[in-house]
Structure 1
Amino acid sequence: MDKTAGNIQPVGILTKDKSFVTRKKIVPVVFITNRTFLHIPRDGISLLAKNINRLIQDKIAEYHLDTAPEIQVDCDWTSGTRDDYFAFLKELKQISGKTITCTLRLHQVKDKKKTGIPPVQKVYLMCYSTSSPLENSGKNSILDVNTLKNYLSDIDHYPIRNIEAALPIYSWGIVTNHLKKHKLINGLSIKDLDKSQFKRISENEIEIEQDGFYFGSYLSKGFRIKVEEISHDQLRDVVRFLEKKIPNFAIVYYQLDHRFVQGQNFNF
């Protein structure tokens, strides 16, 4: 859900491929932008909860989904939107009759006095996005373990104890042009950099030596691509750290794309 031209409306609604079949119970997940809750009127909160619940029920019926009695809400709320966002979570729980859970970002843990504690019984701790991929930094923006440990140094005192840890298994390429502007190409790995038109700069970065279409985009000579991906050692380090902080947490993986799942070792 997002707010555009003052109107709150669904964006990127779920679609289902005919080949998709599963016996697993599905948890409906709704992403809501933070700006959706900026200056939202009180009756707008109730209306938003009703519309989202109706949309979820419509999609469950349309695709004949077997769902869990839970709705997960993903929002990067801030100190300025927390009260309205928390009111929305309570409203959605009352309207849907479901258990409402939500995502928890790293800064929301570290700055919990400002961002507040959401009125839910379970949170999904997002153990990734430790920095912006658009910054000129030598760190891995998907996951820098030392940065994550700094953000979560006090996670053992977080009031909500039912926590699931979301670990990243995705990768991407950060393209930098001549003006130092960036864009992302999802799903790239280091092995994709082995092309004759590329000059290797480092293990995970190349410079393009010939204009052309690469990975679905037209890229010019001199552009650079830096690949960021996650190693098993990084994930194991995060799991070992969390084991000392959080009792009996479950792990979920982002994202379960076949490109990222194949060949993964999920034993820690």
Structure 2
Amino acid sequence: MVGLNTEGTEVGHGGARRLVWQLGVGLFFLLAGCTSEVHPPSYSFYHWETQLKVNDSLLHAHQADRLYIKAFDVSWEQGRAEPAAVLQTSDNTLAVVAVPIIFITNEVFQHPADTLAEDITALLDRSFPYPFAELQLDCDWTAGTRIAYFDFLTHLRELLPGKTISCTVRLHQYRDRAVQGVPPVDRAVLMAYNTGELGRWETDNSIVDPRIISAYVKDQPPYPLPLDLAVAVYDWAAVYRRGQLAYLINEPDLAELADTARFAALGPLRYQVERSTYYGGLYLYRGDLIRREVAGRDAALRLADGLWPQIAGVKSERIIFYRMGSRQWAD
């Protein structure tokens, strides 16, 4: 791997970057004529792969003291809530604090699930090998599922007394809190990515668009929960067939895309399949369109630095990068 040492130099091993940030934000508030107790953020990472692979060099480069680890998914399958992608690891210890995350599809809360909280805590107890003081829930709830999801969160807090319960908040939930509600948890994380219309071929980059993000956060009052921030560092390719999104390919093979016998470049990061072929484990047909989308490391750092003064409150603590394991950290 290349770039870790270079990355550490550019970021200043976390501490220097935070000093620069602190001076800049201090000047911001001085010029604004107000006082604030908002602190410079510390850095953390999301781990989203089923097989645990900890990049200790990356943690060290950013002075990260905790890792948010997806423990498993829960989706609605064959008439019931079913777990999937349960974390696989043979290591019982970590050098940083572990925070388990459970991803739950919104569809789960469109159906009665009276024992969901009990089932989840039982599976977490069996499958997550690390001690934890915080549990995070990730669900893109809607106004229609808000009551069921919030009831679930309340029940979960009752089952885990003494533990911090946090959850993710999408940009539309952050802005439209009067309709979407504020979840009954101890803390929240604003997810500042997946902002564009993925289903449209014309979209430039559905992962991150600073203009769209700015429109969601601009002039919003402080969020009524301690709020952290998550930004994206990863890339994928969206495949379109007959005008419809067909597939997403994580970290597509760039050498194969350069094969002009199979793919024709239509412009920056856009391609057309010239000859039916296998790509990324999928069979693509002649005429299929491919748009590569990139959320790079440096852009994520700039976005985070710009957003933090706008969304952070007194008890805000962390900028969390999604995700550890992305090849973008090596660029």
Q: Report TM bin, short chain.
A: 0.7 to 0.9
Match of 1:210 in 2: 275
Q: Per-residue deviation at 1:219?
A: 1.9
How far apart are the structure 2 equivalents of 1:11 and 1:202? 38
* CA–CA distance in structure 2, aligned partners of residues 20 and 220 of structure 1: 45
Change (3 A) 1:168 1:207: same
Q: Per-residue deviation at 1:199?
A: 1.8
Shift in CA distance, 250/203, structure 1 to aligned 2, threshold 3 Å = same
Equivalent residue for 2:97, pick from 22, 25, 33: 25
Q: Which residue of 2 aligns with 1:260?
A: 328
Q: Which residue of 2 aligns with 1:266?
A: none
Which fold has the larger relative contact order, with Cα–Cα distance below 8 Å and residues 6 or more apart in sequence?
Answer: 2
1:181 corresponds to: 244
- Structure 1 distance, partners of 2:328, 2:223, is 31
**Pick from 167, 171, 180: which aligns with 1:115?**
180
The corresponding residue for 1:241 is: 307
Q: From the superposition, tell whether residues 192 and 20 of structure 1 become closer, same or farther in structure 2 (CA, over 3 Å).
A: farther
Distance 2:111 2:203 in 1: 38
- Asked if 1:200 corresponds to 2:265, the answer is yes
Query: Tell me, what secondary structure is at the counterpart of 1:242?
Result: helix
Q: List per-residue Cα deviations over 1:15-63 (Å, max 9, x = no partner).
A: 22x479732221111111212122426xx1xx21111111111113xxx
Q: 1:202 Cα deviation (Å)?
A: 0.7
Is the contact between residue 155 and residue 246 of structure 1 (CA under 8 Å) also seen in structure 2?
no
Q: 1:94 deviation in Å?
A: 1.3
Q: Within 1, Cα distance between the matches of 2:137 and 2:190? A: 12
**CA-based RMSD:** 2.3
On the 8 A contact 1:166/1:253 being kept in 2, the answer is: yes
2:207 aligns with one of 128, 142, 151: 142
Instruction: Give the structure-1-normalised TM-score.
Output: 0.85
> In 2 relative to 1, CA 193–144 (structure 1 residues): closer, same or farther, beyond 3 Å?
same
Using the TM superposition, give the Cα deviation of residue 226 of structure 1 relative to its aligned residue in structure 2, in angstroms.
0.9
- Name the structure 1 match of 2:61: none
Identity of aligned residues (%): 31
1:4 maps to 2:69: no
C-alpha distance in 2, partners of 1:233/1:199?
Answer: 28
Residue pair 2:253, 2:280 contacting (<8 A) in 1 also: no
Runs of 4 or more, structure 1, over 3 Å off, are 18-22, 189-193
Alpha carbons of structure 1 residues 73 and 201: separation in structure 2 relative to 1, 3 Å = same
Alignment of 1:72-151 (within 5 A): 72-97=136-161, 98-151=163-216
Kept in 2, the 8 Å contact 1:200–1:207? The answer is: yes
Unaligned runs of 5+ in 1: 264-268
Aligned length: 252
